[in-house]
């Protein structure tokens, strides 16, 4: 479990996150929603342990983030940020292998690498330099590298992702519908296998399809934390996003008129 106690963050005199208390339970998909600049990426970075100057406390499985050693934390949670560095002309295979390398030199095996390449439909691109990939292909490669960090071995059994956390900032950016749906299904499957996910989403349909619980952020303030059903209500979304949202039909699909 992630436990956030009186977490806040101020940068250059600007309050980016106002004090908040939240407990994020394991095995669920938590969706962060809010306008541009609401503080979603900042909160994700606090959870990843990247922002050392935050105030308050973040505990992972009862232990302060600062008390985790970096190698242990790296194997426990993986963070896909909004922007990626592509400084080196790695091949797709090398990039994904970098993620596996975090598990320890010699610990990873080729079957893990093959499984990940297959999951992200990267097999045919494995030998290509990442500098030649399209935007969506590159996003899939970085997503694959990120989850490789916490990828289980075959010996882990049915709850093979148990205790692992995936922190995703707009993972679907640039992905075509086919790959969005494929990864959406896989993420649900991985959660059944014990994975916990916190993700930033702007698309309300994706939020509806994926979220178990939602965190609604506005101007750095946590407006609401609770079940997706309670969160994804037209009144709340109107206040959060300043757009008119309607419930479309008996299934309860959200609709926004253009
Ligand atoms: N180093 C910084 N100095 C000053 N302001 C910053 C700094 N980093 C981020 N901010 C500001 O903090 C606010 C929150 O940023 P953050 O990236 O968390 O927003 P977000 O909700 O993820 O937005 P988006 O949906 O656009 O990705 C923004 O207004 C941003 O401009």
Atom of ligand 1 nearest to the CA of 217: 21
pLDDT given for residue 132 in this prediction: 94
* Residue of 12, 37, 222 best suited for mutating to test ligand 1, as the one with most atoms within 8 Å of CB: 37
The rounded mean pLDDT for the chain is 92
Position 75 scores a pLDDT of: 92
CA distance 198 to 204: 15
Question: Is the ipTM, as predicted for this complex, more than 0.90?
Answer: yes
Q: Residue 186 sits in a domain of what CATH number? A: 3.40.50.300
Distance in angstroms (rounded) separating the CA atoms of residues 249 and 92: 43
CB within 8 Å of 255: residues ≥ 6 apart: 245, 246, 247, 248
CA of 250 to the centre of ligand 1 (A): 37
**pLDDT score recorded for residue 164:** 96
Q: Which range marks the domain in which residue 202 is found?
A: 2-85+159-255
Residue 42 Cβ inside 6 Å of ligand 1? The answer reads yes
Give residue-wise pLDDT tens across range 204-244.
999 999 999 999 999 999 999 999 999 999 999 999 999 98
- The sign one gets for the Cα dihedral 59, 63, 67, 70 is negative
When pLDDT is averaged across residues 190-198 and rounded to a whole number, the result is 95
**Is residue 16 in some structural domain?**
yes
Residue 136 inside a domain? The answer is no
Alpha carbon of 39 to ligand 1 centroid (Å): 6
In a domain, 154, yes or no: no
Domain count across the chain: 1
Domain membership of residue 173 (yes or no) is: yes
pLDDT tens digits, 157-173: 788 999 999 999 988 88
Mean pLDDT of the 13-31 span: 95
Q: Does some domain include residue 139?
A: no
Q: What is the mean pLDDT of residues 185-207?
A: 94
Q: Rounded to whole angstroms, how far apart are CA atoms 32 and 11? A: 21
**Is residue 214 domain-resident?**
yes
Say if ligand 1 is within 6 A of residue 38 CB: yes
Asked if the structure places residue 94 within a domain, the reply is: no
> What's the 36 CA to ligand 1 centre distance in angstroms?
8
**Is 250 inside any structural domain?**
yes
Whether 179 shows a pLDDT value over 80: the answer reads yes
Spacing of C-alpha 175 from chain mean position: 15
Residue 194 Cβ contacting ligand 1 at under 6 Å: no
CA distance 185 to 119: 11
């Amino acid at each position: 479990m992630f436990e956030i106690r009186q977490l806040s963050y101020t940068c250059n005199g600007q309050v980016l996150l106002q004090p908040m208390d939240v407990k994020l339970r394991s095995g669920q998909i938590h969706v962060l929603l809010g306008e541009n600049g609401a503080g979603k990426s900042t909160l994700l970075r606090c959870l990843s342990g990247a922002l050392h100057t935050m105030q308050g406390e973040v505990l992972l499985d009862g232990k302060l983030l600062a008390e985790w050693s970096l190698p242990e934390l790296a194997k426990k949670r993986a963070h896909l940020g909004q922007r990626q560095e592509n400084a080196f002309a790695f091949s797709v295979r090398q990039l994904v292998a970098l993620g596996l390398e975090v598990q320890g030199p010699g610990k990873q095996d080729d079957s893990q690498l093959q499984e990940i390449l297959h999951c992200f439909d990267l097999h045919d691109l494995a030998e290509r330099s990442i500098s030649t990939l399209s935007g969506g292909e590159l996003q899939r490669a970085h997503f694959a590298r990120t989850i490789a960090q916490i990828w289980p071995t075959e010996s882990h059994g049915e709850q093979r992702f148990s205790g692992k956390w995936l922190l995703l900032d707009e993972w679907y950016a640039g992905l075509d519908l086919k790959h969005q749906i494929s990864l959406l299904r896989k993420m649900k499957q991985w959660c059944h296998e014990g994975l916990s996910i916190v993700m930033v989403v702007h698309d309300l349909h994706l939020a509806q399809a994926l979220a178990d619980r939602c965190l609604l952020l506005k101007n750095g303030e946590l407006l609401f934390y609770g079940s997706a059903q309670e969160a994804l209500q037209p009144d709340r979304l109107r206040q959060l996003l300043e757009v008119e949202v309607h419930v479309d039909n008996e299934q309860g699909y959200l609709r926004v008129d253009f």
